[in-house]
């Protein structure tokens, strides 16, 4: 199927203005909701296999659920399909970019981003949501370093219990997830520790704690330790980040 071109109007509703980013089988457009002239994002699934489609639709459902009703989420507004059968999600607008392609900053900006990411995760965990595949491609950084999340394709809703492990995700995969074991919020905390390391050093692996300031080395070490030794919550990790 052909990816819609900039200038196309999906379902007579969403006018596509420009491509904002591409990641993991999707393309995200800047768009306008024509009926009320509202700026939105349209995330279109390019992968057409049934498993990818089901995960994409799962992301929309979870993102609209009570578990994701926090300020740190770019909430879905609509789930629909093009005439060619491509599925898309219309979302609230964001001026941000995925952490993977956002300009790499240093110093206080890194601290703000990681702290805000930790707070975002903590808010979702408290509401019973575990992402299970957190990495820089699905973390949106706004111009003021506010962090928002939007991709819930592998998320597990729960009430304090973990769900079946999602597929491996490279350096961001926790030990228990790599073994196919059941996971809980501590799997997201592992990924958060790797992302903190990557933001400081420029590389996600291998982790060499000697490359970090002592205060950050202790945080990364505990975040990426065996599950039983990790921080109990993302909020606890944030509390240890120096200002």
Three-state SS for the chain is CCCCCCCCEECCCEEEEEEEEEECCEEEEEEEECCCCEEEEEEEECCCCHHHHHHHHHHHHHHCCHHHCCCCECCEEEEEECCCCCEEEEECCCCCEECCCCCCCCCHHHHHHHHHHHHHHHHHHHCCEECCCCCCCCEEECCCCCEEECCCCCCEECCCCCECCCCCCHHHCCHHHHCCCCECHHHHHHHHHHHHHHHHHCCCCCCCHHHCCHHHHHHHHHHCCCHHHCCCCHHHHHHHCCC
Mean pLDDT, the chain, integer: 92
Predicted confidence at residue 167, as pLDDT, reads 72
Is the per-residue pLDDT at 168 higher than 80?
Answer: no
pLDDT tens sequence across 22-54: 988 999 999 999 999 999 999 999 988 999 999
Sequence-distant (6+) residues with CB within 8 A of 42 are 10, 14, 16, 28, 29, 31, 88, 89, 90, 91
Domains of the chain plus CATH, in order, are 9-91 (3.30.200.20), 97-240 (1.10.510.10)
DSSP bridge pairs for 42 = 29, 90
Give the neighbor-by-neighbor strand order of the sheet with 76-81: 9-10, 14-23, 26-33, 38-45, 87-91, 76-81
Is the per-residue pLDDT at 159 higher than 60?
Answer: no
Q: What is the pTM of this model?
A: 0.93
pLDDT tens sequence across 77-116: 999 999 889 999 999 999 999 999 998 777 789 999 999 9
């Amino acid at each position: 199927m052909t990816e819609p071109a900039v200038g196309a109007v999906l379902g007579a509703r969403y006018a596509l203005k420009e491509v904002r980013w591409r990641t993991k089988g999707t393309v995200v457009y800047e768009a306008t909701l024509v009926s009320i002239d509202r700026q939105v994002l349209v995330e279109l699934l390019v992968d057409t296999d049934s498993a990818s489609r089901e995960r994409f639709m799962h992301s929309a459902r979870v993102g609209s659920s009570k578990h994701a009703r926090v300020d740190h989420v770019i909430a879905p507004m609509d789930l629909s399909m093009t005439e060619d059968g491509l599925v898309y999600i219309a979302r609230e607008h964001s001026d941000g970019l995925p952490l993977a392609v956002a300009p790499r900053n240093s110093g206080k900006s890194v601290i703000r981003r990681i702290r805000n990411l930790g707070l975002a995760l903590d808010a979702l965990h408290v509401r019973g949501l575990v992402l299970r595949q957190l990495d820089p491609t699905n973390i949106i950084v706004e111009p003021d370093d506010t962090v928002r999340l939007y991709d819930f394709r592998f998320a597990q809703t729960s009430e304090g219990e973990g769900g079946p492990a999602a597929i491996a995700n490279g350096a961001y995969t926790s030990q228990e997830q790599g073994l196919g074991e059941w996971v809980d919020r501590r799997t997201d905390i592992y990924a958060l520790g790797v992302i903190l390391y990557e933001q400081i050093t420029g590389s996600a692996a291998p982790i060499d704690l000697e490359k970090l300031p002592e205060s950050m080395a202790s945080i990364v070490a505990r975040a990426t330790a065996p599950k039983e030794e990790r921080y109990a919550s993302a909020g606890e990790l944030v509390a240890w980040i120096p200002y």
